[in-house]
Structure 1
C-alpha cells in the first residue's frame, strides 16, 4: 500500500511518477532534478516536501513574518 497520503513516496510510487522501472534509473532521474532521496531496503524513497522543495515550492507553514505585522 502506498504511503503517499502521509507524504512518503515509496519506490513503487517513484517508479510510477518517473516512468522508470530500474532502481538506478529512478534514482538518477530524481537526483538530476534535485530531489533528495533516501535508499532503503526496498528501494529509494522520498517525501512530498522534498519534491516540492526541489521544485521551488515552499509550504505556507514555513512562511516567516516580519515584525511589522504585530
Structure 2
C-alpha cells in the first residue's frame, strides 16, 4: 500500500465526505458542485485545492506558458 499524497483525496475519502458509496454517485455530486475530478483506475480523485476553488476560496487561474515549451 502506498502512502497518501498530501492534498490528494482518493475515492475512499470522497465516499466519506459525500456520504455516497457508488462511484457514479460520488462523481455526479462532485461534478454538480463544480469540483474538478480525475477518473483513475481505483476511482475518482481530486485535490483539496480543487475543492476550495469550486467553493470560491481561490479564483480560477489560467496557467501561462512561454513559447519555448513548444
TM-score category, normalised to shorter length: 0.7 to 0.9
Between structures 1 and 2, the one with greater helix share: 1
Residue of structure 1 in register with 2:42 after alignment = 42
Aligned alpha-carbon RMSD (Å): 2.1
Q: Which protein is bigger by CA-based radius of gyration?
A: 1
Residue of structure 2 in register with 1:13 after alignment = 13
The answer as to whether partners of 1:2 and 1:10 remain within 8 angstroms in 2 is no
Unaligned segments of structure 1, at least 5 residues:
63-70
TM-score with structure 2 setting the length: 0.77
Unaligned segments of structure 2, at least 5 residues:
62-70
Alignment partner of 1:55 is 2:43: no
Runs of 4+ in 1 over 4 A off after TM superposition: none
Aligned residues: 59
TM-score with structure 1 setting the length: 0.77
